Amino acid sequence: AMIFNNDKDNFPFKYLTYGNSSAEQAHEIFDKLREFDKLGADTVFARSPSKDGVGLAVYNRLLRAAGFEVVKIWVEYLMS
């Protein structure tokens, strides 16, 4: 999973973080995607950023990296 930095405490799955703010996420996204490639990850679930301002650009990059395949999941951990 690719999650926000502040979501990592006790996160129950393997993950990489990519910032908390849209600006941090924009800066880190490609490095993290390359890191997943190096780890041999077949599938990556990414927490979607805000769709405002820079967040929309990050969302668009994630969407393209996913080949426009979006899966919405509910993770109770992230909602608490």
pLDDT tens for each residue of 17-66: 999 999 999 999 999 999 999 999 999 999 888 899 999 999 999 999 88
**In the predicted structure, residue 76 carries a pLDDT above the cut 70:** no
* Buried residues in 41-61 as b, exposed as e (16+ CB within 10 A): eeebebbebeeeebbeebbeb
What is the pLDDT at residue 72? 80
What is the pLDDT at residue 75? 60
